[in-house]
Chain A
Amino acid sequence: MIYWTALQAIVWREALRFIHQRERFVAALVRPLIWLLVFAAGFRAALGLSIIPPYQTYITYQTYIVPGLCGMILLFNGMQSSLSLIIDRELGSMKLLLTCPLPRWWLLLSKLIGATMISVLQVYAFLAVAAGFGIKLPAFGYVAIAPALMITGLMLGALGLFLSSFIKQLENFSGVMNFVIFPMFFLSSALYPLWKMAESSVLLHNICAANPFTHGVELIRFAAYLKWNFPALGWTVFSTAIFTALALWGYNSARSSKS
Chain B
Amino acid sequence: MNKQKVYNTIHYVLLIVLALATLLPVLWVVLSSFKPQSELFRVPLTFLPQKWTVQNYVSSLQAGNFPVYFSNTVFVAVVSTFITVMVNLMAGYALAKYIFKGRNLIFTIMIATLMIPLQVIMIPIFLQLKNFGMLNSLWGIIIPPAATPTGVFLARQYLVNLPDSLIEAARIDGAKEYSIFFRIILPMSKPIVATIAIFSFMWRWNDYLWPLIVITDNKKQTIQQALANFVGQLQINWSDLLAMTTIAIIPVIIVFLAFQRFFFSGIAAGSVKG
Are A and B genuine complex partners? no
